[in-house]
Chains A and B, each alone.
Chain A
């Protein structure tokens, strides 16, 4: 029967979770369930996000396209309408799609509500984070509904979209909510309920949009987009994930479910957007017919969307640039071995554009110049194998001049490889 090959897909999608040193979970002490998932699954030790910012990175995750192709080049830009997300591609195949929590494929400043596409999810409980005060924040609506006293104590007044500064006492009150009322607990529970509601006859796609960055959906601070990992939030999401696994196991669906854990990006100090702490993200696949293994070669999170279509026994559309990891998991083909990442921010007075190439165990970071002469470009080169924390820049060392030149050449070619050539050529001229 066809359904047998169409796996359920459960995605644990984090917002600000860097990969641990072994490519898996960064704080296994806080996240035993996730660590267990990784241990029993396939761990990609060198998975990279193609964008330094959350929204462009998520757009790449959902479309299988490089930011240069999907056009959502920085936070605040709406994913251009002609792009299709993989949930949109799964829905017509009979998948029951559910999203709970963060999405971020559109600007959400000024407490703007984000709208999913009509053909994207059978059920969507959108909430950018516990501190995002859109009136359509499904988590806050739930909190208000179930615990009105607590809710109104924390949020006594309706939010003002033009004054989105979150007072520190409000932030602390949300952080101090008991685990049973926390955002990530709600994400897990709500997703579990939604999955339980859906017929066992059709496969489901469940996306848990966990929020573990300390910003919690409030505006990023004006000096920094960095979001430190909130330990408590990670612990709660781990418990929530564990409960989800138990529910699936109890209902007999776990054996037919592939669980994918990844993150849009890690976190970083301003100025070091291309650091491993930001670009190197966890990627774990666990499920039937996936052997426990570690994959060392570099992959990109644009490779996940085509992998999911493979899991759904669906053809991979031309308009995806990622390469399915299916063959990598079965050992029949090597990982792509390289990844390109970009940071393009026009917010600051000075241009902060950076491009990074990860290949051959090295990382080249180019800080772009302005061709009109306002500033000039420079390079940094790191040996990720021997210096994973990027303490020594090799770019200026004569011994590494040839490696630097080779990486610059490869960067030019990698850029070219990621251009939008998804429209099929159907004739000679």
Chain B
């Protein structure tokens, strides 16, 4: 088979909690991301990729099913992946792909150190570790660490019973010991080591692979090996994006999420001094520098194995991080670009022209459709997204004009339950804070003009001058939600 018609390998590298504006190639001059920038240089960068939910599990369920959160049924962390939903990896496995997942997956509850069950996922390799501090006995990173760095393991995880504090890393104010270990012992290094091993696994010529390499970085707790912290100039990172009195004209929960994160269970922005916030931001970019370094090693192994030209490499992240902007940290019901816009890069030599920039609104539900398209597998049962490959070729005539993100008390619970919906459309963003009959919470809203106010500092929702725009966007939101309904069940007869 010629290079052009051979089914490509698919390498999906995914980080956790990485902001859309955190790459050097996306304008973050202080970020150290030469390898990720290289993917963009040799392929495509999507400047407006939105996730369908701002927290892990619901967002990842949208990735694996290609469905919106309203439809796949995994609406919150702690909800098991509904058994009737399918994963695109199963389709690829059935088509002959050698599939693997390394790192964090989070399609099932993982608190109280529980082990994540397998779905009908089609993976040959499933090396799972919910996070570097997750004490499940099946944590494959910890197994590796025990073997490769037994002293470090014993020092950081002295065996005193594993159930002492399952929210340990959420509540940590700074990096935890495991975050700061030398890079050779780091979770991100383990992901790269195992990814390289998977790539180098012997396969017959016509068996392509599909690997999901899931980094935990730059998820909090905020800490990185000193070697990478040393690469970051904290002074070069701009101060957090806010303005005096910003929270006064935002819906009330914004103020609570400024005081404490995670519905009051984790330290909030206001628990820190400006200097401490500055250090958190520096550690965050140090974690990204570490990821970049490890991505570089994975890409080099691809090159070394002679597979780089036959591999579609995609890089993205499951949601963002407030990082002190808008006087908030971590994530929650807020649907700022800080949380909903993520990096998306794609490299496929001979198929995607170097230096391509795609400015259309694209979404995480489009990723599985893209992988299935590249693999020649058709649209995929139940997939609602669309392949991004035509966009990279400039064939974008009929692309959708909106992005949706839906938070359904998806993070830590509050009373009353908080639900928010974001519509991105043209220059605008509308965020609805839902009320009766969805929830007893107070109905409110946010409206931003992202051209005039890219930092989303001025809420125009209650401004009478913008009442017409607000109405128009509510209508577009209703139309978009109708278009996003799951009509993938096939009409097999006319009536």
A and B are interacting partners: yes
Residues in A lying within 8 Å of B, measured CB to CB: 55, 68, 71-78, 80-82, 106-110, 112, 219-220, 225, 336-338, 342, 344, 353, 355, 366, 368-373, 377, 405, 408-417, 419-429
> Are B495 and A422 neighbours in the complex by a CB distance under 8 Å?
no
Residue of B79, B481, B487, B495 ringed by the most chain A CB atoms within 10 A:
B495
* A412-B478 contact in complex given A82-B83, A109-B493, C-beta closer than 8 Å: yes
Interface code B138-154, partner A: CB below 8 Å = 1, 0 otherwise?
A: 00000000000000000
Partner of B476, one of A55, A109, A371, A405: A371
Partner of B408, one of A337, A373, A419: A419
Residues in B lying within 8 Å of A, measured CB to CB: 56-57, 69-71, 73-80, 82-84, 109-112, 114, 398, 400-402, 406, 408, 412-413, 419, 421, 425, 432, 434-439, 443, 471, 474-483, 485-495
Measured between C-beta atoms, what is the minimum distance from B40 to chain A in Å? 28
Roughly how many angstroms separate A353 CA and B482 CA in the complex, as a whole number? 8
Provide the residues of chain A in CB contact with B434, threshold 8 Å. 412-413, 416
Provide the residues of chain A in CB contact with B73, threshold 8 Å. 420-423
Roughly how many angstroms separate A402 CA and B443 CA in the complex, as a whole number? 15
> Are A413 and B474 neighbours in the complex by a CB distance under 8 Å?
no
Measured between C-beta atoms, what is the minimum distance from A93 to chain B in Å? 23
Partner of B70, one of A68, A76, A219, A372: A68
What are 11 A-B residue pairs whose CB atoms fall within 8 Å in the complex? A71-B486, A73-B489, A366-B475, A377-B475, A408-B471, A410-B436, A415-B481, A419-B69, A425-B78, A426-B109, A427-B78
Measured between C-beta atoms, what is the minimum distance from A334 to chain B in Å? 12
Provide the residues of chain B in CB contact with A414, threshold 8 Å. 437-438
> Are A77 and B82 neighbours in the complex by a CB distance under 8 Å?
no
Partner of B489, one of A71, A220, A353, A424: A71
B488 to A, closest residue via Cβ: A71
> Are A410 and B437 neighbours in the complex by a CB distance under 8 Å?
yes
> Are A412 and B432 neighbours in the complex by a CB distance under 8 Å?
yes
Measured between C-beta atoms, what is the minimum distance from A241 to chain B in Å? 27
- Excluding A425-B78, A427-B78, 5 further A-B contacts by CB distance (< 8 Å) are A68-B70, A373-B401, A405-B471, A417-B437, A419-B406
Provide the residues of chain A in CB contact with B432, threshold 8 Å. 412
> Are A409 and B493 neighbours in the complex by a CB distance under 8 Å?
no
**Binding site secondary structure of chain B:** loop
A338 to B, closest residue via Cβ: B437
**Binding site secondary structure of chain A:** loop
Measured between C-beta atoms, what is the minimum distance from B108 to chain A in Å? 9
> Are B438 and A368 neighbours in the complex by a CB distance under 8 Å?
no
Provide the residues of chain A in CB contact with B419, threshold 8 Å. 416
Roughly how many angstroms separate A55 CA and B495 CA in the complex, as a whole number? 8
A347 to B, closest residue via Cβ: B494
* A107-B492 contact in complex given A82-B83, A355-B478, A421-B408, C-beta closer than 8 Å: yes
> Are B478 and A415 neighbours in the complex by a CB distance under 8 Å?
yes
> Are A77 and B492 neighbours in the complex by a CB distance under 8 Å?
yes
> Are A366 and B76 neighbours in the complex by a CB distance under 8 Å?
no
* A420-B482 contact in complex given A109-B495, A413-B443, A414-B437, C-beta closer than 8 Å: no
Provide the residues of chain B in CB contact with A76, threshold 8 Å. 491-495
> Are A112 and B485 neighbours in the complex by a CB distance under 8 Å?
no
Roughly how many angstroms separate A336 CA and B438 CA in the complex, as a whole number? 12
> Are A220 and B79 neighbours in the complex by a CB distance under 8 Å?
no
Measured between C-beta atoms, what is the minimum distance from A16 to chain B in Å? 14
* A429-B492 contact in complex given A344-B485, A377-B475, C-beta closer than 8 Å: no
* A78-B70 contact in complex given A409-B474, A413-B438, A429-B110, C-beta closer than 8 Å: no
> Are A344 and B487 neighbours in the complex by a CB distance under 8 Å?
yes
> Are B401 and A372 neighbours in the complex by a CB distance under 8 Å?
yes
Provide the residues of chain A in CB contact with B57, threshold 8 Å. 429
Provide the residues of chain A in CB contact with B443, threshold 8 Å. 409, 413
Measured between C-beta atoms, what is the minimum distance from A40 to chain B in Å? 32
Provide the residues of chain A in CB contact with B71, threshold 8 Å. 68, 419-420
Measured between C-beta atoms, what is the minimum distance from B342 to chain A in Å? 19
Provide the residues of chain A in CB contact with B471, threshold 8 Å. 405, 408
B83 to A, closest residue via Cβ: A82
Partner of A427, one of B112, B478, B490: B112
Roughly how many angstroms separate A72 CA and B434 CA in the complex, as a whole number? 26
Partner of B398, one of A225, A338, A372, A405: A372
> Are B76 and A425 neighbours in the complex by a CB distance under 8 Å?
yes
Measured between C-beta atoms, what is the minimum distance from B437 to chain A in Å? 5
B470 to A, closest residue via Cβ: A405
Roughly how many angstroms separate A346 CA and B281 CA in the complex, as a whole number? 50
Roughly how many angstroms separate A106 CA and B490 CA in the complex, as a whole number? 11
Roughly how many angstroms separate A338 CA and B438 CA in the complex, as a whole number? 11
Measured between C-beta atoms, what is the minimum distance from A302 to chain B in Å? 13
Provide the residues of chain A in CB contact with B412, threshold 8 Å. 428-429
* A78-B77 contact in complex given A68-B70, A377-B475, A405-B471, C-beta closer than 8 Å: no
Measured between C-beta atoms, what is the minimum distance from A353 to chain B in Å? 6
Provide the residues of chain A in CB contact with B79, threshold 8 Å. 423-426
Measured between C-beta atoms, what is the minimum distance from A10 to chain B in Å? 28
